[in-house]
Structures are given as structure tokens and as C-alpha cells.
Structure 1
Amino acid sequence: METGRYGWGERQLSRLLAVCGFALFGWMLAYAYQNTANFFESAGTIVLLGIVALAVSVLLAFVLGRYAGRAVSLTVIVLLAAGLRLLWVLNADTPPVSDFLDMHEAALSAAAGDFSFGTNEYFTRWTYQIGFALYEALVIKLFGPSLLVLQSFQILFQLGTLLVIYGMAVRAFGETSAKGAALLYALYVPNILMCSVLTNQHISVFFYVLGLFVVMRRRFSGKTDWLLAGLCFGLANLMRPLGSFFLVGFIVYAVLFLLVPGIRERRWPALAAKCVGLLAVYWLVQQAAGAALVQTGVTPYPLESREPYWKFVVGLNPATNGGWSYDDTVLVQQVPIGEERNRLELELVKERLADKRQVAALLVSKAKTMWGGDDSAPMWSMPDQDRPELRGKLIRSERIEYVLLAFLGLVAATLIAVRGASAEASLLVLLLLGYAALHLVIEVQTRYRYDIFPCVFILAGFGLSVLAGGFRRKPPDVSTSEPVS
């Protein structure tokens, strides 16, 4: 990267974030390798397969970067991604289970005109799940109740996410890195397996990354960027309630990389107005959707968590290593939902924070599981299936891919720490670090990595392009961005 390309403050901030990113990717690599050893006979096998995976990835990235243009590369990667996902969906028997079953049954009822599910125990406790249930109901109403139809839409949303990841990577690191990021996303085993699982993550991730792309593409200088990004974040939150996290990440990014530099150029009032506009649009989407569902009698409650402390209760439970707890569920359900349950859950949180040594040990253990553990996609996509050989192959494939991603992320973080990077690249590192910090204190599942892994794929794609010799010494020019008005 040309050191003159970025402002001094931007470059130094990117390097500081990259040092923290280096620590996270190093942690991921160390504990992923440790976990991977449980599924292979020897360490030598892991190293050999890792080297083979790296060599194949570098070769593919080199060929795409050197001999294929954007249109050809995207066509090949999209067809590859679609083919793998469709093949899995057609051959996997994945009935909805757990929360996915509750939402699917509600969708079937809604498609038939029965909205009474909105007052049952599940949806009065987790009202924010109604948005995804109604999305499924719309698909069922239009195309019929076949699971294959819903799964096909999930494939389409993943393909959309792939294209957005490509666009974000171009903006952050250039064309060659974008091809690498898209390729890694297309081949990642958990993404393929989860296409058959009726989870709200597919559609929410698409809209969250689309909102990030709008923010990144012209450094939030477009006249309608605030509106489009606010709508994207708002729609995504109706599917999966991570909007607060992405909004906080956006605000930190805007302050550090947009508003503070804008003070010198006297652009900060316009930028601040656009930031407020984005937050207002997001809030209006939530309020309008909630009011509509209350007015139509679908639910008597707004679309938000009615148990704000629950994720912290289970996240700080040492008995389950910060995972879901049956005992906690039974305990809190002994009191009615509302203020009384909130008080009980807050007391549980305070009790679990009292032993500082135990808390510290728990946080370390959770971080090992969250960022080093094997992905739970085989469990969700193959529930109650007696196919141990296939399950074992899928787990081992995911483990090698994960180690590869962590290594490539480490390469990317190293180069950014040395040379600095753009604000767009720093946004990705900032979000990844924030997500890791958040899951130190709330519930962990390896499935939750899915929501932030677009950032990992983009950073790993940059690392891959470096190793493939396709690193562009001159980063993409952003000087042509529209002026703030």
C-alpha cells in the first residue's frame, strides 16, 4: 500500500486495530489447531492437509487474478457456490428443529391465515422472531409449503451475500482480494450445510453486509447512503436482532474515520446529519413494523427482546461454558415474564460476576470455544441422522478450512499492521473485534460465527491475494467519491 494514500491518523488507527486483529487471528489459529487435533490421527496429517488446502487456494486465486476478468471470475464462483449448495439441499434431509421448528410452524399457520401463534409462550418471550416467521409465511403463501422452496431462497440470499462480499472486498483491498474472498466464501463447508437449515441468519446477514457495503462504497458520502443503509440495517434487524451491534460499530467507525477527519475539512456537520439520518431510518423501520403487528393483532408486544438480561445470564454461566442452559431456563420460567423475571435475571448476572477469578477463567474458556471450536453446522443440518462417516468428513473438512482462514487472516493483519490500510478495511477489523468482545459476556455458539464471518472472508481474501502474488501496491482510488452535500 502506498503510505501516502491515507491520512496519518487513518493509517495509524488501522495499524492499531490490525495489531488487535493479529491477536484475534493468532488465537483462532492456535485453538482451532488444538481443536482440529481431536478429529485427526496425527498432527502431521493436519499440517499436510493445511498445506495442500493453502496451495490449492493460492493456485486458484492466482489463476483467477491473472487470467480471468471480473465477469468470468464472478460467473465461475457464483455457479460453483450455487451448485454445491443445491447439491447439498437436494441430498440432505434437514427437518426444522428447535427454534427453527417453532418459526416454521408459525409460518405455516400464518400462511393459512392463522396468526394466533403471536400470543403463544415462545413468541411472547421472543417477539423479535416474528419477523422471520412472517417472511417464511410469505414465501409459503406464494410458492407453497415445500421445504425445498424455502431452502432455495436461502441459497439465493447466500449468493447475494457472496456478491456483496465481493463488492466490499474490492472497496477495501482491490479486485484480486475480492476474488479470493468470494472463492473462500463459496467453498466454506458450514455455509453450504446451513443452506438446508431454516435459520434467519441467511437473510439477516445479506441485509447487514449490504448496509455495510452502502456505508463503505463512497465513504458514506452519497446523497442517499444514509437512507439505504438505515433501511438495510432495519430490515436485517427484523430478521435477526443484531442491529444494535452493527449500529454501534457504524457509529465508532463514523467518529474515528469520518467525523474526526471531517473536522479539518469542515465536512463534519453534513456527515453528522447523515449519521443521525441513518439511525432515524433504522428506528422508524422498527417502530413501523412493531406498530403494524400490534395494530393487526399478531402480537401485543413490540418486536424486541422482553428478556434483556437472558443472553448475559447464560453467557456468564460457568456450568455450561457460556452456552444455553436448561437449568437457567427452568429457573427463570418459574416467575412471570416482565419486571419480575428481569429482576431475577439481573440478580443471576450479578452473582455470576461476583467471583472475578471464575469470570476470568470462563471468558478465556468461552473464547477458546467460540473462535477455536468446530462448527455446529453438521449438527443442525443433519439432526438425528445416523451417518457418522459423512458427518466426520464434513467436520474434518470444516476444521482444515477454518485453520486456513485463520492463517490467511493472520497474514492480512500482519501486513495491515506494518503498512496501514484504508478506513474500509479498518471497519471490517473493528466489527470483528467488537463481535469477539461481545461474545465474551453473552451466550456463545459456534453457529453465531456465521453472522460476522463475511469480515473474516474479506480479510482472508486479502491474505490469500498477498500469497498469490496478486497484491496491488496501489489500493483502489477513493478520491472520486461524491462530495458530502
Structure 2
Amino acid sequence: MREFLKRHSFVIGLFLFSFFLRLLVVLCIHTDIVSDFGLMYKASLELVSGTRDYLNNVYFLTWAYQMGHVVYQALLLSMIESVTFLKIVNALVTSLIVVFVYLLGREVGGEKGSRIASVLYAIFPFPLFLNTVLTNQHLPMLLILIAIYLGFRLNEKKLQIPLCIGIGLLLSLSNILRTETIVIIGAIVVLGGYLVFQKDSFRFIAIRLGILLLTYFLSFQLASFCLVQTGVSPNGLQNGNPTWKFVEGFNYDTDGMYSKEDSSLYATDPVLSKQVLKERLREVEKMPLLFLKKIYIQWFRSDLSWTFNTGEYPVLFSISNFINQMMIVLFHSLALSSLLFLKKKNYLQILLTITIVFYVGTYLLIEVMPRYAYSVQILEAILASVTISNLFPKKLKD
């Protein structure tokens, strides 16, 4: 036991440090449950109590894919019916995310860099304060990180079908909770194609990738089917209006952000959504400026308002917002600089880089808000390990 603690002292210390900070935040800062999170929280309570009034809510009939998070919260609330409990679970989950920033950072960049990068991420204000929000972003991202970590534990000389199935299940569960996992799936497919041309193991890679993708898609469909059959969600995990996010993304008046007017007119009407999207796509001359504005909003604007939505902590909000803005720029710079040290066989770095590129490209097309940068900031923290490690003299590197 003593040897185990000594060997893993940094990981344990990092987790405890991260959890202490996050626990402090969720216990000391009051955040109102607003917007979609309020609807999902109420639906979770109804699911626990058995009333299920949410079944008559057009929100859940249209955006049935949100039911994954509703069921997850309901499972937690069935144990302890407390908002504070949900936030403490957030703190546990995000503390584990910090640990995986270190573990993956060590794989991609080395020990020194990963330690510094993970500690920096642990005190990064945005993900730190987001623990007070009942968002559906935390657990899905942790599952993705675990899947990536396991993926790079695969033995090059063994097929390891059970592990491939496990990775597929993790990614599928992540997608059930929040439908953005398709981005990492796309990056995995691209990396798989890249490896086919780099190695003499086409059949080996194809089988692994096929098993992973088959598990991912089948388990998602099975979960959706179960929600329908149990009456929890008549529409399973479907997206009743997939055009909607693009309608918002090409709103030139709001710079691609949410519009109340659009919401009242098009959110629940797929036919009208397609019509207005076609009209907006014709305004090609407006797109370059729109894309520039969206890049700034999504990737460079600091926004802690989701946590500080009660107006109770003006000084803390002001100071934290300033620090957050500086750290956004810092992680962007460190992650971008990692390209200078990109190696042909550092497949993890290649995967993370491809994923970020896919995220950036996706948000050029759909609705943006600073909160959606959460996933990419985690990947940037991992890539920051590469740059930081290369700042040390070679004799200090592990």
C-alpha cells in the first residue's frame, strides 16, 4: 500500500487538490438553475417521482437526445435528492478530468510538461466554476478521455476485441449524455485512415475500428430503443430538428449565437428551419465576417456568467473573469505551439489535433457560445504538455 501511494503520489495529490478547489466552489457559490438545465433538472425530478409531466413538453419531444442527461441526473437524484449532491458529483467527475489531463499529457508530452499543464488546468477558472452548473458537459468528456486513454493502451500485436468493445461503449455512453461525441469519432476514423498508410496492418486496424464503430452505433440505438419501450422518451434519443443549430449558426444578426426570435419561429419546426437556412446560406458575402466573429466568440471570449448568474459576487466575478481570459490565451498559445513539436509517430498528439480542428470547423457552421469551448480547452491543456516539456532542457526531461 505504501509503495502504491508513493508511486502514485502526484496523481492522488492532483485529484485531492482539484477536488478540494471544486468542492469549495460548489459549496460556497450559489448558482441559479437556468435555461435548458432548469428544464432537464425538473424533468429528472419528475422521472424520480413518476409524474412525467415532461412528456407533454415540446422541448423534450423535439430535443429527445437531451433525455440521456435527464436519466443520468434522475439516477443520482434517486439516491440523494439534492442539487448540492449533483454539484458534488460534478466536482468528482471534473477532478478526474484533471487527472486524465495529466495522464494523457504524460503520454503525449512527458512527465514534466503534463504535471505543469494539469495543475494549470486544475485552477483554470472556467472549468473550475462550471461545476456549479448542472451542465451535461462534464461526464461525457470524462468518458471520452477514458476511451482515448484506453485506446492508446491497445497492444499493437493483439486484436483485444473486448477492449475495443469497451471503448465503443464508453464513446456511445458519452454520446447518449451529450451528442458531440461524433466529433471524436470522426477524428478516430481519420487517424485510422492515416495509420493504414503508415503501417502494414490494414486488416488489423480495420477490424479494430469496425468493432469500435459497430459497438458505438448499436449501443446508442439500443439505448434509444429502451427509452422508447419504457415510456421514458417517446422519441428515444432523436433530434427532431437537426437543422436548428445551423439556423442559429448562420444568424448574421446575432453573430451565430442563440436568438430568441429564431427560437420562437423555427426551433420546433423542421420545415421552416430548412427554408430559413437556405435563405441565409445564399448570403455568401456575409460569411467571412460571420466566421471571424464566431471564432472570437467561441474561442477567445471569457464568459463565467453561467456560474455568476445571481449577481452576488461582483468582485470575485471580475477578478476570475480577467484571470480566465489570460488563461484562455495561454492554453491557445501552448496548444498551437505544440504543432512545432509534432512527430510523425505521436499518434495521440495527431488525434487530439485533428479533434480540435474538427471542433473549430463544426462551430463555424452551428450555434456558438463561449461555454461550448469546454471540450476543446481540455484537449488544449493536454497538448500544452508537449510545448511545456520542450521548454525544459533535455537533461530535465523524463
Q: Please tell me the TM-score bracket, short chain as reference.
A: over 0.9
Deviation at 1:424, TM superposition (A): 1.2
| Equivalent residue, structure 1, for 2:241 | 307
Q: Hey, what does 1:463 align to over in structure 2?
A: 387
C-alpha spacing 1:101/1:458, structure 2 compared with 1 (3 Å): same
Contact 1:318 1:362 in 2 (8 A): yes
The total of aligned residue pairs comes to 392
Name the counterpart of 1:158.
94
Quote how far apart the aligned CAs of 1:423 are: 1.2
Matched, 1:284 2:218: yes
Q: For the structure 1 residues 217 and 109, does the alpha-carbon distance in structure 2 shift closer, same or farther, using more than 3 Å as the test? A: same
Kept after mapping to 2: 8 A contact 1:249/1:434: yes
CA distance in 2, matches of 1:412, 1:470: 17
Distance 1:351 1:225, change over 3 A: same
* Residue aligning to 1:79: 16
The match for 1:226 is 164
Which 5+ residue runs of structure 2 have no aligned equivalent? 1-5
Q: Contact conserved, 2:108 with 2:383, CA < 8 A, in 1?
A: no
> 1 CA distance for matches of 2:10 and 2:395?
17
Residue 116 of structure 2 corresponds to 180
- Taking the TM superposition and a 5 Å limit, the aligned residue runs for 1:91-240 are 91-143=28-80, 145-218=81-154, 223=160, 224-240=162-178
CA distance in 2, matches of 1:186, 1:135: 25
The CA distance in 2 between the partners of 1:219 and 1:160, in whole Å, is 25
Sequence identity percentage: 27
For 2:305, the equivalent position in structure 1 comes to: 379
The root-mean-square deviation of aligned C-alpha atoms, in Å, is: 2.0
Q: Using structure 1 for the length normalisation, give the TM-score.
A: 0.77
1:443 lines up with 2:373 in the alignment: no
Shift of 1:472: 7.3
How far apart are the structure 2 equivalents of 1:71 and 1:471? 23
Q: Which residue of 1 aligns with 2:179?
A: 241
**Do 1:465 and 1:471's aligned partners in 2 also have CA atoms closer than 8 Å?**
no
Shift of 1:186: 0.9
After TM superposition, the runs of 4+ consecutive aligned structure 1 residues lying more than 6 A away are: 470-474
Q: CA deviation at 1:74?
A: 1.9
1:326 equivalenced with 2:237 (yes/no)? no
| Offset of residue 473 of structure 1 | 6.8
Tell me the residue number matched to 1:31.
none
- Alignment-mate amino acid for residue 397 of structure 1: I
Q: Which moved more, 1:213-222 or 1:230-239?
A: 213-222
Q: CA deviation at 1:165?
A: 2.2
CA distance in 1: counterparts of 2:363 and 2:395, whole angstroms: 33
**What is the one-letter code of the residue matched to 2:252?**
P
| Equivalent position of 1:370 in the other structure | 298
Question: Post-superposition shift, 1:219?
Answer: 6.9
Within the alignment, does 1:401 sit opposite 2:316 as a pair?
no
- 8 A contact 1:174–1:472 mirrored in 2: no
**Relative contact order, higher structure (CA 8 A, sep 6+):** 1
Distance (whole Å) between structure 2 residues aligned to residue 119 and residue 468 of structure 1: 59
CA distance in 1, matches of 2:49, 2:370: 35
Which secondary structure does the structure 2 equivalent of 1:439 belong to?
helix
In 2, Cα distance between equivalents of 1:291 and 1:172 = 39
Q: How far 1:293 moved relative to its partner?
A: 1.1
CA distance in 1, matches of 2:354, 2:293: 23
CA deviation profile, 1:353-378 (whole Å, cap 9, x unmatched): 1122101111111112212111x2x2
For 1:214 and 1:282, the matched residues in 2 are separated by 15
- In structure 2, relative to structure 1, the CA distance for the partners of 1:222 and 1:115 (3 Å cut) is farther
> Hey, what does 1:25 align to over in structure 2?
none
The CA deviation string for residues 371-412 of structure 1, in whole angstroms up to 9 with x for no partner, is: 2111x2x21112122432221011011012222222322432
Tell me the residue number matched to 2:203: 269
CA gap of 1:162–1:386, structure 2 versus 1, over 3 A, is: closer
1:119–1:300 CA contact under 8 A, matched in 2 = no
How far is 1:470 from its partner? 6.5
In structure 1, what is the Cα distance between the partners aligned to 2:64 and 2:281? 28
Q: Which residue of 2 aligns with 1:434?
A: 358
Aligned partners of 1:181 and 1:462 also within 8 Å? no
Compare 397-406 and 94-103 and name the one that shifted more: 397-406
Residue identity matched to 2:354: L
- Long gaps (5+) in structure 1: 1-68, 475-485
Residues 357/444 of structure 1: CA separation in 2 closer, same or farther (3 Å cut): same
Q: Shift of the alpha carbon at 1:447?
A: 0.5
| CA shift digits 1:196-219 (9 cap, x unpaired) | 111110111111111222222337
1:180/1:351 CA distance change after superposition, 3 Å: same
Distance 1:219 1:163, change over 3 A: farther
Report which of the two structures shows the higher radius of gyration computed on alpha carbons: 1
User: In the aligned structure 1, how far is the partner of 2:159 from the partner of 2:52?
Assistant: 41
The alpha-carbon distance between structure 1 residues 70 and 463, as it changes in their structure 2 partners (threshold 3 A), is farther
CA distance in 1, matches of 2:395, 2:64: 47
Q: Confirm or deny: 8 A CA contact 1:184 1:461 kept in the other structure.
A: no
* Aligned position for 2:193: 255
Task: Tell me what 1:388 maps to.
Answer: 314
For residues 407-451 of structure 1, the C-alpha deviation after alignment (integer angstroms, 9 at most, x for no partner) is 3224322233xx655111111111111111111111111101112
Cα distance in structure 1, aligned partners of 2:54 and 2:311:
29
What residue is the counterpart of 2:282 in the other structure? Answer: 354
